[in-house]
């Protein structure tokens, strides 16, 4: 028997030596450590260097490094409200110098003839002032501007513009400000006192924000191309930027790179516009979240969602997200079932609402058609499916990498028991052992089908193999027929 040693060699003098070698592992669950990425704009108050990848460990750290009122601080706060296990990287960008800030208005009129509370909300945060009989709209404007100024983390400023008008201006330049949501009287017990009228023309309606950072000149695309971020949240939802990101992530998914990354964004638009956008993007690496029923920006929703999905996908690969609560988010009016059905079938991830909670519905990617423009079944477009096959590939690569630098032999030859040699049959056995573990962990199914599909060939100093996996499903629908008689 010839044993292959790494450190011990024949000498002419006596010796007793023992080398330590990590044993080859053919069984046991392989854990994949996730990394999340959030990128977006900082304020001048933030101390962090722009266009650099940073580790951020808390909401408080994000506020200090990116500014308390920044979109990044808000999004990272949402991430850490949910995520408990996945490390977070952040890229801060400066506002585009030529950009403009989004605005909104709150107009108050009249004189209060009853006491009560004036309740104004932005992104689910309440700004409430007491109203006494006889208070004029000018009194209330002063009080409301003062109330808004008390908060240190507003993503907007408020000023008295005269004639009862409060002008709200987004902190950041660019289109993100257009996604801030403002309204009066969110809760059922919120009522505008008699004699006073309050009219909101919100950021979404005016849409005056324009000019976002360039993802190429800021180096973001280059960073995406050279690093793996399993889950990405970012605020730029225009088709041009989504296509740039998709091109980078598509290349990352290739066998030569294996830097599997998936990007999530949130968008509040009509059903028609959302499904049209999805059809244009058509990517397994881009997921667009329907933001219509969530009282927060789409960026904040995306950050919370990667926090949720990352925890689940890292700890239990193959598990789904249906009926999971998006903690910390307040709901707006739920879309009707027919709208949600069209969105899910059209490549838009949907949510439901229940009481004061936002609940995950169907998390599909924007993938709609294959390379031949043939429609793809919605079950094959779930984000869960692509994260799972990414994990499966990772396990095979990790498991089989243990055999790098082994000698390559033929099945017909007989080798000594201690020799580190790999043959096609032995390679196939190890592929099957890995798949057995995946089936045992309920990540995949149909072991027999996998075994039948495996083909292994020795080609010089290389071993080629092909196989077919079967990703396990999750229970999404249940149908019953109950027959009765009297």
- pLDDT tens-digit map of 202-212: 999 999 999 99
Q: Report the distance separating Cα 174 and Cα 208, nearest Å.
A: 9
Q: Does residue 1 register a pLDDT over 50? A: no
Total domain count, the chain: 3
Q: Report the distance separating Cα 361 and Cα 378, nearest Å.
A: 14
Residues 248 and 380 in one domain: yes
Minimum mean pLDDT range among 46-55, 100-109, 407-416: 407-416
Q: Does residue 437 register a pLDDT over 90? A: yes
Residue 19 pLDDT: 86
Q: Report the distance separating Cα 334 and Cα 339, nearest Å.
A: 10
Residues 87 and 44 in one domain: yes
In a domain, 13, yes or no: no
Q: Report the distance separating Cα 106 and Cα 457, nearest Å.
A: 71
Q: Report the distance separating Cα 299 and Cα 9, nearest Å.
A: 60
Residues 240 and 190 in one domain: no
Residues 195 and 176 in one domain: yes
In a domain, 26, yes or no: no
Q: Does residue 2 register a pLDDT over 70? A: no
Helices 298-315, 71-82: axis angle to 10 degrees equals 30
- pLDDT tens-digit map of 321-347: 999 999 999 999 999 999 999 999 999
Residues 338 and 220 in one domain: yes
- pLDDT tens-digit map of 18-37: 888 777 776 789 999 999 99
Q: Does residue 304 register a pLDDT over 90? A: yes
In a domain, 424, yes or no: yes
Query: Secondary structure of the chain: what % helix, strand, coil (to 5)?
Result: 30, 25, 45
Where among 153, 175, 206 does a domain terminate? 206
Mean pLDDT of 422-438: 96
Nearest Cα to 427, choosing from 452, 449, 448, 396? 396
Where among 159, 184, 206 does a domain terminate? 206
CATH number, domain containing residue 116: 3.90.1160
In a domain, 25, yes or no: no
Residues 194 and 228 in one domain: no
Residues 119 and 268 in one domain: no
Residues 167 and 227 in one domain: no
Where among 206, 233, 265 does a domain terminate? 206
Q: Report the distance separating Cα 21 and Cα 245, nearest Å.
A: 42
Q: Give Cβ neighbours of residue 114 (< 8 Å, ≥ 6 apart).
A: 133, 193, 194, 195
Cβ proximity of 298 and 269 under 8 Å:
no
Share of the chain above pLDDT 70, in %: 99
Residues 219 and 322 in one domain: yes
Q: Does residue 87 register a pLDDT over 70? A: yes
In a domain, 402, yes or no: no
Q: Mean pLDDT of all residues in the chain? A: 95
Q: Give Cβ neighbours of residue 166 (< 8 Å, ≥ 6 apart).
A: 105, 106, 107, 108, 141, 144, 145, 158, 159, 160
What band does 17 get if pLDDT is binned at 50, 70 and 90? confident
In a domain, 21, yes or no: no
Domain that holds residue 339: 35-94+213-386
Residues 197 and 222 in one domain: no
- pLDDT tens-digit map of 166-203: 999 999 999 999 999 999 999 999 999 999 999 999 99
DSSP at 214: P
Cβ proximity of 302 and 355 under 8 Å:
no
Cβ proximity of 287 and 233 under 8 Å:
no
Residue 53 pLDDT: 98
Residues 308 and 416 in one domain: no
Residues 232 and 342 in one domain: yes
DSSP at 264: E
In a domain, 24, yes or no: no
Mean pLDDT of 246-271: 97
What band does 381 get if pLDDT is binned at 50, 70 and 90? very high
Residue 223 φ then ψ, to 5°: -65, -40
In a domain, 15, yes or no: no
């Amino acid at each position: 028997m010839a044993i292959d040693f790494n450190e011990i060699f024949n000498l002419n003098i006596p010796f007793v030596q023992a080398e330590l070698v990590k044993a080859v592992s053919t069984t046991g669950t392989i854990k994949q450590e996730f990394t999340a990425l959030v990128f977006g704009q900082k304020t001048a108050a933030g101390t962090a260097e722009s266009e650099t990848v940073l580790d951020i460990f808390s909401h408080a750290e994000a506020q200090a490094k990116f500014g308390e009122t920044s979109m990044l601080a808000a999004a990272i706060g949402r991430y850490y409200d949910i995520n408990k296990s996945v490390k977070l990287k952040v890229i801060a960008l400066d506002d585009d110098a030529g950009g403009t800030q989004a605005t909104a208005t709150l107009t108050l009129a009249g004189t209060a003839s009853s006491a009560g509370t004036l309740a104004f909300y932005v992104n689910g945060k309440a700004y409430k002032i007491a109203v006494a009989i006889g208070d004029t709209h000018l009194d209330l404007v002063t009080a409301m501007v003062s109330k808004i100024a008390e908060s240190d983390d507003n993503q907007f400023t408020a000023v008295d513009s005269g004639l009862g008008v409060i002008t709200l201006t987004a902190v950041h330049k660019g289109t993100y400000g257009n996604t801030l949501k403002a309204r009066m009287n969110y809760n059922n017990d919120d009522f505008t006192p008699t004699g006073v009228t309050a009219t909101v023309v919100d950021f979404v309606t005016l849409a005056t924000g324009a000019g976002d950072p360039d993802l190429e000149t800021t180096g973001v695309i280059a960073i995406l191309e050279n690093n793996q971020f399993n889950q990405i949240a970012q605020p730029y939802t225009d088709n041009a930027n989504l296509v740039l990101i998709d091109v980078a992530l598509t290349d990352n998914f290739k066998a030569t790179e294996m830097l599997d990354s998936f990007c999530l964004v949130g968008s509040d638009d009509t059903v028609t516009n959302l499904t049209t956008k999805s059809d244009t993007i058509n990517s397994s690496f881009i997921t667009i979240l329907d933001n219509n029923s969530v009282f927060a920006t789409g960026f904040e929703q995306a950050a919370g969602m990667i926090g949720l999905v990352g925890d689940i996908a890292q700890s239990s690969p193959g598990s789904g997200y249906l009926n999971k609560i998006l903690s910390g988010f307040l709901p707006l009016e739920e879309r009707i079932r027919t709208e949600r059905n069209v969105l899910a079938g059209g490549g838009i991830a949907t949510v439901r609402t229940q009481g004061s909670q936002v609940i995950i519905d169907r998390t599909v990617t924007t993938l709609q058609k294959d390379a031949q423009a043939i429609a793809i079944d919605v079950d094959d477009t779930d984000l869960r499916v692509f994260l799972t096959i990414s994990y499966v590939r990772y396990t095979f690569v990790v498991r089989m990498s243990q055999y790098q630098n082994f000698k390559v032999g033929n099945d017909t030859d007989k080798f000594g028991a201690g020799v580190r040699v790999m043959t096609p049959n032995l390679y196939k056995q190890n592929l099957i052992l890995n798949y057995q573990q995946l089936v045992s962990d309920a990540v995949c199914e149909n072991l027999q089908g996998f075994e039948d599909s495996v083909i292994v060939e020795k080609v010089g100093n290389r071993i080629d193999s092909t196989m077919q996996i079967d990703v396990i499903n999750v229970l999404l629908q249940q149908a019953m027929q109950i027959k009765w008689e009297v």
